[in-house]
């Protein structure tokens, strides 16, 4: 299996602040995203990914986000198996994102 690309929350924050338009997919559950999401992210809970693939652009980088980095890594693995390229996991998830604010 292909190695999953990683991005640190600090690097993602810098890229967003620089105005980059990125495809962000938050795979947390609804009650988790109710506490806050990264602006511009699309909410697709991990369990709904198979039925919502048409919402994910197949080209370019796709950055997956969850609470700690585990579910987003699973999302990357799943999409890579389906032939998606550019899957990137935000390390540490929203826990690290919020710590670094």
Catalytic, out of 41, 62, 66, 75: 66
**What was the pLDDT predicted at 1?**
57
Nearest Cα to Cα of residue 93 among 20, 38, 31:
38
pLDDT at 62 over 70: yes
CATH 3.40.250.10 at 5-99, yes or no: yes
> Between residues 23 and 2, which one has the greater pLDDT?
23
Q: Is 76 a catalytic residue?
A: no
Q: How far apart are CA 10 and CA 101, in angstroms?
A: 9
**What was the pLDDT predicted at 98?**
95
**What was the pLDDT predicted at 101?**
82
pLDDT, tens digit (0-9, with 9 covering 90-100), for 15-54: 999 999 999 999 999 999 999 999 999 999 999 999 999 9
């Amino acid at each position: 299996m292909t190695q999953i690309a990683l991005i640190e929350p600090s690097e993602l924050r810098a890229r967003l602040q620089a105005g980059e338009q990125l495809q962000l997919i938050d795979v947390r559950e609804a009650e988790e995203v109710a506490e806050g999401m990264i602006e511009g992210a699309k909410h697709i809970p991990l369990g709904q990914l198979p039925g919502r693939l048409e919402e994910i652009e197949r080209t370019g980088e796709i950055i997956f986000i969850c609470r700690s980095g585990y579910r987003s890594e699973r999302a990357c693995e799943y999409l890579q198996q389906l032939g998606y390229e550019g899957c990137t996991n935000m390390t540490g998830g929203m826990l690290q994102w919020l710590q670094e604010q």
